[in-house]
Amino acid sequence: MPLNGYTVGNDTSVDIVDPYGGPINLAKIINFEAKPKTNSVEVTALNGQTDEMLIPKGWSGTFEVERTDSTLEDFWARWESDYYNGAPQLPSAATITDTTLENNGSRTTYRFTKVQLKLESAGKREGGKTVRMQVSFTAQRRLKV
């Protein structure tokens, strides 16, 4: 629940559906960050006044996962195997759904579409420590659901 009127990380849930149509069930998503991408176009008139236009170019983001099983690595292994076996690129991409519990008890949900997932790190294995994996993504759109 929100704390003293603020959204805290515990108020957010993230669900991922892979390009194959199945869920990627990640038990321990530690953090999630999404950023809009824009292209800035500046137009300067003869009088010296400059207008700036922002053109949406999709979204990018990252998330980290504490490894509890092989789910994420299995997805990446399948994707990599398909590539090297000459399988055609899937016509659909992944989707990410980001849901936040608001102060008034309602939920706000956004869906990232045409998501490309990239395993940035399968994690560092060290004695006595957990394995934290890193994923980045790009998305064509973020739609309010």
pLDDT band at 90 (very low <50, low <70, confident <90, very high): confident
Residue corresponding to tokens 């989707």:
95
Task: Please state the length of the chain.
Answer: 145
pLDDT band at 119 (very low <50, low <70, confident <90, very high): very high
pLDDT mean across residues, the chain = 94
Helix (H) or strand (E) holding 78: helix 71-84
pLDDT at 1 over 90: no
Residue 1 included in any domain:
no
The pTM (predicted TM-score) of the whole model is 0.89
Residue 102 included in any domain:
yes
Residue 138 included in any domain:
yes
Structural domain count, the chain:
1
Average pLDDT of the segment spanning 111-133:
97
Domain holding 69: CATH number? 2.30.110
Residue 135 included in any domain:
yes
